[in-house]
Amino acid sequence: MSDRIEVLKTNKLFINGAFVRSESGRSYRVNKANSKTFLANLALASRKDLREAVLAAKNGLIKWQSATAFNKSQILYRIAEIMEGRREQFVEEIIALEGLPKKSADLQVSQAIDLWIWYAGWTDKISVIAGGENPINGPFYNFTSPEPIGVVGAFAPDAPSLLGLVETLAPIIASGNSALLIASQRYPLSAVTMSEVFATSDVPAGVINILTGNQKELAPWLASHMEISGMDITSLDKKSEIEIRKAATSNLKRIGNFDTKVSPERILAFMDYKTIWHPIGI
């Protein structure tokens, strides 16, 4: 028997760069893979937590949109750096929750880290690929440039728990959007640890907000919230999709439901095109 008292961790929500309990005081339990053994308690976010998170994302947007592409790139790379230091924790959590063998858990973490670096490379290239000078008939310069649409809500898929989360989140914030991510209800630990990475990797407060809880409970509030400009619902089922699409008409949200896991298309899905006409010779 150990003579030391165990130090247990309280898993919290990540809102506005701070770790908070759910205002509702609710929590839920997850078990170890394929067993009934207790693994962790997690905060069960309420719609009021969601409301706070959206407010935080709205404020975070101001800082993140005005950051230069180069700076965004550095910060995304920094996320990968910090994740590398927490590799063991990620691996352990994936094994405990998803029940994967060590080798595939290891591989998943490596892929997730590499994906941040891949998206870090995209931040200053996306506007060059998707924007440009348009040929027009008249005495004007005509430019098109893609811009982030605003606050984007997203649902992380269950598995692969870490890689799936990065595949969802990284393209949203790479362009300058701020994000509100609802973690997988089944495998939430990677999301909690990821939020601890974000808190220590120079991501401005509010740019990324992560809620753990029931995706189905929160989805309608997210879909109808007028402050949300886009949603990634790739990991939701077909039945929820119809409800979400209906609710999202209130402010014509951009809805993403992607076939490809990794693609610059996923960045562009949450960008608007702005076209500027400038007279020549004035």
Residues lying near another protein in the complex (CB under 8 A): 51, 54, 58, 221, 224-227, 247, 250-251
Q: How far is the CB of 30 from another protein (least distance, A)?
A: 29
Q: How far is the CB of 226 from another protein (least distance, A)?
A: 3
Residue placing its CB nearer to another protein in the complex, 92 or 227: 227
Q: How far is the CB of 50 from another protein (least distance, A)?
A: 8
Q: How far is the CB of 64 from another protein (least distance, A)?
A: 17
How many residues in the chain?
282
Residue placing its CB nearer to another protein in the complex, 17 or 220: 220
Q: How far is the CB of 252 from another protein (least distance, A)?
A: 12
Residue placing its CB nearer to another protein in the complex, 7 or 226: 226
Note whether 258 and 234 are within 8 A (CB). yes
Task: Give residue 20's Cα distance to chain centre.
Answer: 18
Q: Is 209 exposed, middle or buried (0-12, 13-18, 19+ CB in 10 A)?
A: buried
Note whether 203 and 75 are within 8 A (CB). yes
Residue placing its CB nearer to another protein in the complex, 140 or 221: 221
Note whether 187 and 98 are within 8 A (CB). yes
Residue placing its CB nearer to another protein in the complex, 48 or 102: 48
Q: CB 146: neighbour CB atoms within 10 A?
A: 20
Residue placing its CB nearer to another protein in the complex, 158 or 272: 272
**Which H helix or E strand runs over 211?**
strand 208-211
Q: Which of 97, 59, 282, 96 is nearest to 185 (CA)?
A: 97
Helix ranges (DSSP H) in 67-155: 69-85, 87-98, 102-122, 126-130
Enumerate residues 6+ apart whose C-beta is below 8 A from 93: 189, 190, 193
Q: How far is the CB of 259 from another protein (least distance, A)?
A: 30
